[in-house]
Amino acid sequence: MIKYICKKCNLNTETSTCPVCGKRAEMESSNIYWCDDCNIPLYDEICPICGKQARRIGSDLRPVFPEERLLLEIMLGEPFKYRNASVWNASGNFYYADGKKVPFSVKQTKLLDAKKIRKQLDELSPQNSYNFFNENINKFLIANRHRYDYITNEAMEYIRTMAEGVSLTEMFVSFSGGKDSTVVSDLVLRALGNQQVLHLYGDTTLEFPESAKYVKRFKAEHPKTLVLTAKNKDKNFDELCEQLGPPSRVMRWCCTIFKTGAIQRKIQTLFKNQKRILTFYGIRRSESNSRNKYDRESDSPKIAVQRTVSPIIDWLDFDVWLYLLTTKTDFNDAYRLGYTRVGCWCCPNNSTWSGFLSEIYMPEQYEKWHTLLINFANKIGKPDPEVYVDDGWWKARQGGNGLDYAQTSVLTFEPCALQENTLNFELQRPITEELYELFKPFGYNNKSLGNERLGEVYIIGKDGSLQMKLQGKIGQTTFKVSILNKNAGHSNSLKAVEDKIKNQITKYQMCMGCLGCESACRFGAIEIITDRSGLVSYRIKDDKCVRCGHCITHYDGGCYMRKVMCIKR
């Protein structure tokens, strides 16, 4: 069972919402029990089938399907040893068979030959059976029916409450093809009694093969449900890895480029001028420490017009599988193989176990990715590339040291000796009209007031006042900015204006079309286009831009890629 505590009221509660103050209560502990007589895991301490006391086995638990069970047996050198055993995986990636810990550690995978294991799997899989597994699962479902009823009814009531007054044209389900979004999809369709709720599938181009197959099955099984795909067709992941280096846990540039940006574009196309969109997410707090801080409903920090709600935010893995198996809902077959998450198959957040599974089931993709990582390690001068890659150090890298592109994050400038409040910049990229686009959030560009021969452009505020003067000729790299109003861009000091100017020039030097700025603008005023040659153009639409300046400061340093590629000078 799960126990929560409201620290404000110093009150224990069964839900994450305090019944007294209505504020969020924090999880204090979670316990899953094991009934030795019935040979199944339980949410409650007393077995509903035999009435006997159960013992604690872990804080969470998931079923081990026959495919994963056979793999485990082969790794142990004892095929089919647990064919007629109740096999589960507890938090910490510990395997249990009939309630007893299996002597296996993920660290052992480093010593195993993936090719030999793959060969044995091919030979033995035809003999594998679901007979005992299905019998055991049926008993598990009966014993935990009370928990299923509680979490299902609570989630469906929450969905109906959040959707009250919201039309179908103002909502969608964020559908990833993973188990959590599958559960949320089923709950939403059931709770609202309507199969026509839009589903938006974000294809990052790095999905598991099983995910593509599952999405195809989902569409066939839900003919009335419109499932649309959001995909960034302008960028190539392998090419970006060459330019930016592979994504790491703290530098997951891939999410912004291949997921958030693509989904935002699709949202803008579908919902056009909607001021608020209700999005049902499958996020759960127990997935990670960072997600443990999430609220059940909130405004999206990445996509400006979204109001996100997470119906199963407090569910355990135990609950997710209890729901899927009780309702007999189809799900992604990657989970049968042993994967615990099915986002991008090469995500730096994936575990060692997940990487080993990919070596087994996706040998060609795995080898290609491994070679890319080795090449990157050599490129940035790592003394032992194999160790850097195989021990997972690439997942923890920070900054763009050793990469040519990272040099564009460096700004070269100095105060003008002849003009007050003026900065002289030496750009790394020749001046184009696009540079002036980036000053539109400060006001309106006016060339008629300036000296065309000197390349002068004035920025005029909404009230007609002068904000700043820009000076630079197309094709050259010398650029001068004179600050004429210390409150330009909603600033409260001259220093703040200078910092915002630096943000925009950084953005000009670094922009590679990540779509971060486009996603951040809730007015849809920013348009970023990458042509077939890879050339990126950044445009701010005058008729939509309200000059709020949010795009200037949304990212530290002005540009998302600066955060990713920041280096020491």
Residue 268 — pLDDT band, cuts 50, 70, 90?
Answer: confident
Does residue 345 contact residue 362 with C-beta atoms inside 8 Å? Answer: yes
Is the predicted pLDDT of residue 51 greater than 60, yes or no?
yes
Q: What is the pLDDT of residue 259?
A: 87
Q: What is the pLDDT of residue 290?
A: 62
* pLDDT tens digits along 326-342: 999 999 999 999 999 99
Is the predicted pLDDT of residue 301 greater than 60, yes or no?
no
Those residues with Cβ within 8 angstroms of residue 136's Cβ, 6 or more apart along the chain or in another chain: 39, 40, 86
* pLDDT tens digits along 530-543: 887 778 889 999 99
**What average pLDDT does the chain have?**
91
Q: What percent of the chain has pLDDT over 90?
A: 68
* pLDDT tens digits along 72-86: 999 999 999 999 999
Largest CA distance in the chain: 91
Does residue 99 contact residue 36 with C-beta atoms inside 8 Å? Answer: yes
Which of 64-73, 137-146, 298-307 shows the lowest mean pLDDT across its residues? 298-307
CA distance 100 to 94: 10
Is the predicted pLDDT of residue 256 greater than 60, yes or no?
yes
Is the predicted pLDDT of residue 109 greater than 80, yes or no?
yes
Burial string for 168-189 (b: 16+ CB within 10 Å, else e) reads eebbbbbbbbbbbbbbbbbbbb
Is the predicted pLDDT of residue 302 greater than 60, yes or no?
no
Is the predicted pLDDT of residue 17 greater than 90, yes or no?
no
Tokens standing for residue 472: 């630079």
Residue 15 — pLDDT band, cuts 50, 70, 90?
Answer: confident
Provide mean pLDDT across the span 2-14: 78
Instruction: Name the pairing type of β-strands 94-97 and 87-90.
Output: antiparallel
Residue 288 — pLDDT band, cuts 50, 70, 90?
Answer: low
Residue 252 — pLDDT band, cuts 50, 70, 90?
Answer: confident
**Residue in 408, 394, 407 with CA at minimum distance from that of residue 250:** 394
Which of 64-73, 157-166, 312-321, 527-536 shows the lowest mean pLDDT across its residues? 527-536
Is the predicted pLDDT of residue 5 greater than 60, yes or no?
yes
Q: What is the pLDDT of residue 303?
A: 52
CA distance 179 to 317: 9
CA distance 393 to 117: 26
Q: What is the pLDDT of residue 553?
A: 93
Q: Is the pTM of this model over 0.85?
A: yes
Q: What is the pLDDT of residue 25?
A: 76
Provide mean pLDDT across the span 457-461: 95
Q: What is the pLDDT of residue 179?
A: 97
Residue 287 — pLDDT band, cuts 50, 70, 90?
Answer: confident
Q: What is the pLDDT of residue 445?
A: 94
CA distance 510 to 266: 25
Is the predicted pLDDT of residue 493 greater than 70, yes or no?
yes
Is the predicted pLDDT of residue 118 greater than 70, yes or no?
yes
CA distance 364 to 358: 9
424: left (phi over 0), alpha (psi -120 to 50) or beta: beta
Q: What is the pLDDT of residue 107?
A: 87
Q: What is the pLDDT of residue 186?
A: 98
CA distance 63 to 313: 20
Is the predicted pLDDT of residue 557 greater than 70, yes or no?
yes
Does residue 284 contact residue 291 with C-beta atoms inside 8 Å? Answer: yes
Q: What is the pLDDT of residue 376?
A: 93
312: left (phi over 0), alpha (psi -120 to 50) or beta: alpha
Which of 197-201, 243-247, 289-293 shows the lowest mean pLDDT across its residues? 289-293
Q: What percent of the chain has pLDDT over 70?
A: 97
Residue pointed to by tokens 């052992």: 108
CA of 209: how far to CAs of 258, 306, 361, 524, 531, in Å?
17, 29, 10, 34, 29
Is the predicted pLDDT of residue 568 greater than 70, yes or no?
no
DSSP3 helix / strand / coil % (the chain, rounded to 5): 40, 20, 40
Is the predicted pLDDT of residue 272 greater than 80, yes or no?
no
DSSP state of 63: E
Which of 21-35, 72-86, 88-102, 134-148 shows the lowest mean pLDDT across its residues? 21-35
**559, 560, 562, 564 alpha-carbon torsion, rounded to 10°:** 180
Residue 320 — pLDDT band, cuts 50, 70, 90?
Answer: very high
| 538 strand-pairing partners | 528
